[in-house]
Structure 1
Amino acid sequence: MQEKEPGGYGKWVAGKKTKWITVLVWVILAVVLNLIWPAVGEQENNNAANLKENEPSVIAQMVADREFPSDSGIPALIVIHKESGLATEDLTKLQELTLQLEEKPVPHQTAVIPLHKLPPPALSAQLSEDGSTLVLPVFFEVEADAEELGQGLDGIKSSMTSIFGTNPFDADIDSGDELSARVTGPVGISVDATGLFENADVSLLIGTVMLVLIFLLLIYRSPLLAVIPIIAVGFAYIVTSPILGYLAKQGIITVDSQSISIMTVLLFGAGTDYCLFIISKFRQILWNEADKRKALFQAITSSSGAIAMSGFTVVISLFALLLAEYGAYERFAVPFSLSILIMFIASLTLVPAFLAIFGRASFYPFVPRTAEMQAERARKKGKPVPAPRKKKESWIGSVVTKRPWTVIVSTIVVLGILASFSPQIKYTYDLLSSFPEDVPSREGFTLIGEQFTEGELAPVQLMLDTEGKDIDVKSRLEALDYVGMVSEPEEGSVNSDILAYQVELSMNPYSIEAMQHIPDLRSEAVSALESAGVTASDDKVWISGQTAEQYDTELAGEHDARLIIPVVVGLISLLLLIYLRSLVAMVYLVATVILSYFSALGLGWLVIHYGLGADAIQGAIPLYSFVFLVALGEDYNIFMISSIWQKSKTMPLKQAIKEGVGETSSVITSAGLILAGTFAVLATLPIQVLVQFGIITAIGVLLDTFIVRPFLVPSITMVLGEVAFWPGKRKVAAKEEQVHTFH
C-alpha cells in the first residue's frame, strides 16, 4: 500500500514532488526577472533631493535661481597648497591650467575662474595670508551625476599632472616643498560620498556573507546547513534586486547606495534568522521523529506562524517610513520592506524545500536521530547502544521562574542606567564629518578653514523683498558676532526690489552651531524690513545655502520622528494584539523593546563618543535605529512568547515558561549573534553614519538577545501569570485541571 503524504501546508512546498517544484519556481523567478528587468544597482540615484519642495531652503533656492540665475553651475573647489609657500612658478603653471580648461573644458565643465587673465597683484590677492594656499573654483553642469562629475575631475587631475610633472592630488598636504591639491566643495563632496558607498557595497557583501557563514559553521558544525540559509538569502536578493530595479526605472521609487548597502545587511541578518527559526525546530523534532517528512511538516506548522508574524512586523514597520518628509528616510521604506517580505517567503518555502531534499543529511556530520535509530545504527556497527538522550533543563528558565522579581528589578536597573545616557547625545547633520579624515574633500575643507575661513566654503545667501525701500541690512548683519563677512547687495533680475547678500559665517557652515543661527538671520532680516515699514512675511525673506538646507533637514527629521515612532509602535502593538489576543502581553512586549532601544542609544553613545572620540552622531541615526531595533527586537519576543503560549495549552504556565525559554534560547542566541554581527560589519566601513548606525543597532540586538528576551520578558510573564493572557484566557490542560482539583 502506498504511503499517504502527510497533510498540512508543508506538502505544498516540501512534499515528495512539490519540493522540486518550489526550487524550480525560485530558479525561474530569479532568471526571468533578471533577464527582463534591470538590477537595482543600475538604477541608483545618489543625487536625489532629500527635502520637499515646500521647505523654506528649497523655496529660497528657487527664488535664487529665478532672481539671481548663474550659468556657472555647481562648483568644485580645488585647494592648491604648498607648506613652504606657492612660488611664482607654481602660479604661472596654475594660469596655464585655467587657460587650458577654458580652451578645452573637461567633461561636463561649464566654467573656470580665469587665473590666466589676472595681473600678478590680483593673482597674489587670491592667496591665503601666508601665501601657501589658493582655492580654484571650477564649475560643472548642475544635471551631472556623481559619475559624470568624477570624469570631469579625472580630466582636471590629468591636466595638472601633465602641467606640473607630478600628480599633486597624490601628494601629502603636510609636505614642505611638494605641491598638493584636493577637491572639495559640492562636487568634491558628492564624488567622494558616492565613491565611499560604491567601495562599501562590495566589501560589505563579502564581509557579511563570510561572517554569516562562519557563525553558522560554528553553531551547527554542518557545512551543508551553513550553506542553505546563504543560498536562500541569495535567491531572495536576486529576486528582490530586479523588482526594485523595475520600480526605480519606472520612477515609482528612488534608490541610493546607502539604502542598498543597509538592505544587504538586513537581508543576510534578518533572513538568516528566519531560516534558523525553522531549521532549529526541524532539528529538535528529528530527535523524536523517525519520519523526516513528518518532522519537517511539524516544524513548518509550529514555526510558520511566528515567522510570518515576525516578518510582517518588520515589513509594516519599515513601510511606515513612507510617511517621512525627509527623502533619505522615505527611500528606505520600499527596498527594506520588500526585501524582508520576499525573504520571509523564501524562509517558508525555499528553505523547507531544501530541508526536504537533504533531510537528516542537512545536519551532517552531527545528524539528529531518534533513540531507536541510534540503537539500530549501533547494533549494525557492533557498538554498544548509546544511552537515551536526556533533555537538558534550561538554567535561564529556572532563574526566571524561581526569582522573577529579582530578574525584573536587576535588568530594568541595568537597562535604565544605560538609557539615562541617551539624553546626553549630541547630533550633527554635517556630511563631511561622516567622511574619514583622509578623504580628499574633507582634507580640502580643513585646509580652507585653516588658511581662510570655513564660512567661505558654503556661504549663506540671504534674500529679502525691500519693496523698493532703502534698508541697511549689510551693516546689521556685519554687526552679528557669528558673521564673518557680508557681500554687497545684488538686485534681482526679475524683481529689482529683491536684494541678495552672501553671508560668510565665522564658523563651520555645516556645524550645529551654524544651523541654529538660520532663525537668527531670518529674524534680523525681518527686523530690518519692519524698521523700514515693510510688513515682513515668509514671502519677503528667503535663506538658501547648505547651512539653511541642514537646518531644514533637522526640522524634517524631528517631524518624522514625532510622526513615525508612534505609528511604528501602534502598528506593532496592533499586530501583537491580533496574534496573541492579549492586551497585557502586547503592552509589556512593546515596552521592553522600547526600553532596550533607549539603552542601546545610551550605550552606543558611550562607545561612539568616549571609545571612538566622535563629538556627535549623525542626526538620522535615532529614527533608523528605532525602526530596526523595535521591529527586529520584537521578532525574538514573538518567537519565544509563541513557544510559551503554545506550551501553556498542555502544561502549567510555570513549566511552559521554563521550557519555552529553554527551547528557544539557543536558536534566538544564535540568530541574535548573527544579526548583531551583520550590523557590526557596517562598523568596518569608512563612512561614519554607517559605522554609528551599525554599532548602535548591533548593541540593541545584543541587549534584546541576552537581556530582554531571555530574562526580562519571561520574568514579567511569570509574575503576571494568568493576567498575561488578558482579556483572553489560557486554555488549561486536563492534567493541570486535575492538579488544581486535587489541591
Structure 2
Amino acid sequence: MQEGSGYGRFVAGKRSKWVTLLVWIVIAVVLGVIWPAVGDRETNNAQDLSDSKPSVQAAALAKKEFPGGEGLPALIVWRNPAGLTEDQIQQIQALTERLDQDPVEQQQSVVPLYKLPPQALKGQLSEDGSTIVMPLFFNKDADSKQLKAGIEGLEEKTKAIFGMNPFDTAIDNESKLIARVTGPVGISIDASGLFSSADVSLLIATVVLVLVLLLLIYRSPVLAIIPIIAVGFAYMVTSPILGFMADQGWITVDAQSISIMTVLLFGAGTDYCLFMISRYRQILYHEPDKKKAIFQAITGSSGAIAMSGFTVVVALLVLLLAEYGAYHRFAVPFSLSIFIMFIASLTLVPALLAIFGRGSFYPFVPRTHEMEVERAKKKGKPAPAPRKIRESWIGRIVTTKPWTVLAITVVLLGGMAAFSSQVKFTYDLLSSFPENVPSREGFKVIGEQFSQGELAPVKVIVDAGGKETDLKQRLESLDYISKVSDAQQGAENANITAYDVEFNLNPYSMEAMQRIPDLRSTAEAALKDAGVSNADKQVWIDGQTAEQYDIEVVGERDAKIIIPVVIGLITLLLLLYLRSVVATAYLIATVVLSYFSALGLGWIIIHYGLGAEAIQGAIPLYSFVFLVALGEDYNIFMISSIWQKRKTMPLRQAIKEGVGETSSVITSAGLILAGTFAVLATLPIQVLVQFGIITAVGVLLDTFLVRPFMVPAITALLGKWAFWPGKYVPVTEKQEKKPSRSL
C-alpha cells in the first residue's frame, strides 16, 4: 500500500499522524473548557418510575390529600444499651423542639416529641427502654447532597444539646448513647456516599490493573501506555459531551452509570486498541516499511473494530426502550463512550503507532528476517534462523477433533447454565450496603428493638365515596401486617381515607413486595362489599415497598422487550457483515449460552462462595446487554480472520490459522476486560460486586471456551454450510494462494 492511499494516509500519514494527535488534543481541551465534566452534573435522586405507575400515582395523591406526611422520612434511631436515661430522653425532646423552631436544610417537619407527656413518650420506647425512633421529614425533591447537608445540620444541633456526637459512637458500644440515621433519607445519603467514594478508587484501580496486565502480557512500557492514552482522550471527550447533554436536560446521569462507564471505557477501549496493535505487530514481522505496515494494519483490522464497536453501541442504545429509569439512564453514556472509543481506536491509536513506529514494542521490537540478519551482521553475530510461525495447538485440536471439542464445551457451559435457574433476586438496596454503613446499622437496631416494618410503612389509600368499610379490620387480620393506623381523612376530598400499614417483616424484602397485590385486593374487596363501584380504580398504595414492586414489574417488562431487540439487532448486523444465516445463527446461540453459563457460575460464586442470599434484580439485564454485545466482539474479530483466510486456503487450514492468529490478542484482551469488570468486585457496594463478578466470568468464558473452542469447532463441522446462503468457493492445497483482501 502506498503512503498516499485513502484512509491510512488520512489518519497516520507522514504529516497527518501529527494532525490526528493535535485534533484529539484540541477537541479534548476545548470541550473540557467550555462544557462541564459529567461528574459535576450527577443526579442521584432521579425518578426511576414514570408518572403512570401505581406507586407514583399513589405518592402524588398522598402528597395532595395528606400533606402532613408528604416528606421523605429520616428515621433517627437513638439507643443506649443500658437504657435511655431521663436526661437523654429530655435532650431528645429538646432536639425536636430545636428542629421545630429552627429547621435544618430541606427539613419539612419533625414529630414534636417535646409536646408529649412523659408517660406517652415512654410508650414510644422499645420494651427494654433502650431505644426510641425519631422521625424527621425532608423535602422529597431534595437530592442526596442536600439531604446530607440537612443531616449534618442535625448532628451540629445534637452536639450542642448533648455535648457529644452520638452519631460517631460505635454501634457496639455498651455504655454510651448511640444515634444512627436510617429510612429512605439515610439510605439515599449512604448510597450516594458509597458510589462517590468508589469513583476515584475505581478509576485508579482500573488504570493500574490495565497497565500491569499490558506490561505483563506485552512486556513493553510504550505499548502499555498507548491504550491508556487513547482511553484517556476518549474519556476527556466523552465526559464534557455528557456533561453538556445533562446540562441541557437531554439526559440524566448518576454515580452508578459513571462508575460502570469508566470500567467499560478502559476494558472495551483497551480491547479495540489491542486489535489494531496486534495486527500492526504481525505485519511488522514481514513488512520492512513501518508506514506501509500501519496502513496494512488499518486496512486489515478497521472493519472488525468498527463492526465490534458498532455492535456494542447499538446493543447499549436499546436500553433507551426501557421504562425503568436506571436502565434508561445507562443507554446514552455507555453507547456514546464506546462510540468515541472505537473512533479513537481507528484514528488516534494508528497515529500513535505511526509516531512511535517499531519503538512501540520496545524492547521486543518486531523486525523482518532481513532486518534481523542485517542487525546481527552489524553486531558481529551469526545470522538468526528465519522466524517460524508457531502452529496453534487449539487450532489443530478444533480442526482434527471438532466433535469432541464441541461435546466438551457444550457439557461445561450447559452445566453452568443449569444453575442460572436457581438464581434468587432482591430489590433491597439496603442489603447491598456494607454492614457498617449507618443506615444499615440503624435498620438492624429497629428490627431488633421494634418491627422492621417501621422502617418503611406503606399507606393504603381508598376512595369509599363516603361509605363505611371494614378495611382497617381486614388489614389487621393479615398475618404479614403488624400494625394499622386509624383512618386519616383526605385534606381536599373527605371521601378519601388512608391507613398507615406496617409489615412484620423487612419492608424491602421480596416477600414484602409480593404482598402488595394482596394488599390491593384486600382493599378492593372491602370497597366492593361496601357497595363501591369501580373498586379496582379506587385503591392506591404508597410507600417504598409498593415502589419496589412496581420496579420489579417494570424491570420484567423491560427485559421482555430489550433482550429480543438486542438479539435481533445484533443478528441483523452480523447478517450484513458475514452474509451468512448459518454463521450468524451459531454465533448468536453461543453467546446466549455463554450468558446463561456466566449467570449460573456467577450465582455459584456469589451464593455458595460469598454467602449472598440473592442478587440485585437489575443485574441479569445489565449483564445480558454487556455480555452479548462484548462477547460478539471476540467472535467477530476471530471469524473475520477465518473468513478472510478461507479465500486463499482450505477452510480447515483457515480455521487453524485464524484461531492461531487471533488467540493471543483475544486472550490478552479478554483478560484485561474481565480484569476491569472484576475491579468492581473490590468495591463496598454489592450491586456492583455482583455485576462485576457475573460480567467478568462471562468475558472469561467467551475468551477461553466459546471463542477458541466452541465457535471454530462448529465452523469446522459445518464446513461449506457455515457460509450459507453465501457463495463458498473451495480452495485446495494445490491451488496458488492469492493475496486476500480484508472482509
Letter in 2 for 1:509: P
What is residue 507 of structure 1 aligned with on the other side?
Answer: 505
2:492 to 494, 519, 523: 494
**Distance across 1 between alignment mates of 2:524 and 2:113:** 39
Question: Which of 81, 84, 94 is 2:82 aligned to?
Answer: 84
d(CA) in 2 for partners of 1:170, 1:198: 21
In the other structure, the counterpart of 2:310 is: 312
Question: Retained in 2: the 8 A contact 1:434–1:687?
Answer: yes
> Can you list the C-alpha shifts for 1:136-159, whole angstroms capped at 9, x where unaligned?
112222222111111111121122
Matches within 5 A, 1:9-408: 9-70=7-68, 73-408=71-406
Alignment of 1:523-542 (within 5 A): 523-542=521-540
Q: What is the distance in 2 between the residues matched to 1:163 and 1:514?
A: 39
Structure 1 residue 5, shift from structure 2 partner: 2.3
- Give the partner amino acid of 2:680: L
- Going from structure 1 to structure 2, the CA distance change for 1:12 and 1:49 (only over 3 Å counts) comes to same
CA offsets per residue over residues 471-502 of structure 1, 9 Å max, x none? Answer: 11111111111111111111112221111111
5+ residue gaps, structure 1, are none
CA separation of 1:537/1:723 partners in 2, compared to 1, >3 Å: closer, same or farther? farther
In 1, Cα distance between the equivalents of 2:725 and 2:90? 84
Alignment of 1:454-493 (within 5 A): 454-493=452-491
Q: 1:729 — aligned with what? A: 727
Counterpart Cα distance in 1 of 2:103 and 2:140: 16
Q: State the superposition RMSD in angstroms.
A: 1.4
Partner residue in 2 for 1:551: 549
The residue that corresponds to 1:614 in the other structure is 612
CA distance in 2, matches of 1:278, 1:429: 42
Q: Which position in structure 2 is the counterpart of 1:424? A: 422
**Aligned-partner Cα distance in 1 for 2:559–2:133:** 40
Pick which of 170-179 and 482-491 moved more.
170-179
Cα deviation, residue 6, structure 1: 4.5
How far apart are the structure 1 equivalents of 2:153 and 2:60? Answer: 31
The residue type equivalent to 2:18 in the other structure is: W
| Deviation of 1:178 (Å) | 1.2
Q: Are the aligned partners of 1:82 and 1:173 in contact in 2 as well (CA < 8 Å)? A: no
1:538 and 1:707 map into 2 onto residues whose CA distance is 53
Q: Provide the rounded CA distance (Å) in 2 between the counterparts of 1:143 and 1:165.
A: 32
Q: State yes or no: 1:415 paired with 2:408.
A: no
SS at match of 2:339: helix
Alpha-carbon distance between aligned partners in 2 of 1:642 and 1:326, rounded to the nearest angstrom? 37
Distance 1:562 1:385 in 2: 64
1:737 is displaced (CA, Å) by: 5.4
Which residue in 1 is equivalent to 2:584? 586
Instruction: Give the residue type in structure 1 aligned to 2:698.
Output: G
5+ residue gaps, structure 2, are 738-743
1:120, distance to aligned residue in structure 2 (A): 1.5
Pick one of 670, 674, 687 that aligns with 2:685. 687
1:384-443 Cα shifts (integer Å, max 9, x gaps): 111111110100000000000000011001100100010111000011011111100011
Q: Distance in 1 between matches of 2:325 and 2:546?
A: 16
**Letter of the 2:666 counterpart:** I
Asked if the contact 1:282/1:299 (under 8 Å) is kept, the reply is yes
Deviations 1:49-103 (A, max 9, x none): 0001111111111111222223762221110111111111211222232233233
Once the two structures are TM-superposed, the CA of residue 160 in structure 1 deviates from its matched residue by 1.9
Which deviates further from its counterpart, 627-636 or 529-538? Answer: 529-538
- Shift of the alpha carbon at 1:105? 2.4
In structure 2, the residue corresponding to 1:78 is in which secondary structure? Answer: strand
Judging changes above 3 Å, is the alpha-carbon distance between structure 1 residues 539 and 148 closer, same or farther for their aligned structure 2 residues?
same
- Measured against aligned partners, the alpha-carbon deviations of 1:363-400 in whole angstroms (never above 9, x if no partner) come to 01110001110111111111111111111010000000
Which residue number corresponds to residue 671 of structure 1?
669
Report how far residue 167 of structure 1 moved: 2.0
Task: Report the TM-score, using the length of structure 1 for normalisation.
Answer: 0.98
Q: 3-state SS of the aligned residue for 1:420?
A: helix
Displacement of 1:286: 0.4
Residues 107-116 or 727-736, more deviating: 727-736
User: Whole-Å Cα distance in 2 between the matches of residues 686 and 187 of structure 1?
Assistant: 19
The answer to whether the 8 A contact 1:271-1:344 is kept is yes
CA distance in 2, matches of 1:167, 1:67: 38
C-alpha distance in 2, partners of 1:225/1:731? 39
> What is the CA–CA distance in structure 2 between the aligned matches of 1:736 and 1:495, rounded to whole Å?
90
Aligned-partner Cα distance in 2 for 1:497–1:102 = 31
Q: Name the SS of the counterpart of 2:540 in structure 1.
A: strand
Report percent identity of matched pairs. Answer: 69
Cα distance in 2 for partners of 1:502, 1:632 equals 47
What letter corresponds to residue 80 of structure 2 in structure 1? K
Check the 8 A contact 2:650/2:732 in 1, yes or no.
no
Summarize deviations over 1:628-682 as a string: whole Å, max 9, x none.
0000000000000000000000000000000000000000000000000000000
Amino acid at match of 2:727: K
Aligned-partner residue type, residue 677 of structure 1? G
Tell me by how many angstroms 1:172 deviates: 1.7
Letter in 2 for 1:684: T
Tell me how far apart the structure 2 counterparts of residues 91 and 544 of structure 1 sit (CA, whole Å): 32
Q: In the TM superposition, what is the alpha-carbon distance from 1:536 to its structure 2 partner?
A: 3.1
Assess if the C-alpha contact under 8 Å between 1:72 and 1:111 holds in 2: no
Partner of 2:631: 633
Q: Structure 2: how far apart are the matches of 1:523 and 1:163?
A: 48
Q: Distance in 1 between matches of 2:90 and 2:59?
A: 37
SS state at 2:497 partner = strand
SS at match of 2:175: coil
Give the residue type in structure 1 aligned to 2:725: P
Out of 714, 717, 733, the position equivalent to 1:716 is 714
Instruction: Tell me which amino acid in the other structure corresponds to 2:656.
Output: K
- Cα distance, 1:738 vs structure 2: 8.1
Give the SS at the match of 1:136.
strand
CA contact (8 A) 2:528 2:535 kept: no
Report Cα offsets for 1:543-578 as digits up to 9, x if no partner: 111111000000000000000000000000000000
Deviations 1:155-196 (A, max 9, x none): 211222333233211212222111111100111111111000
Secondary structure class of the residue paired with 1:70? helix
Instruction: Tell me what 1:653 maps to.
Output: 651
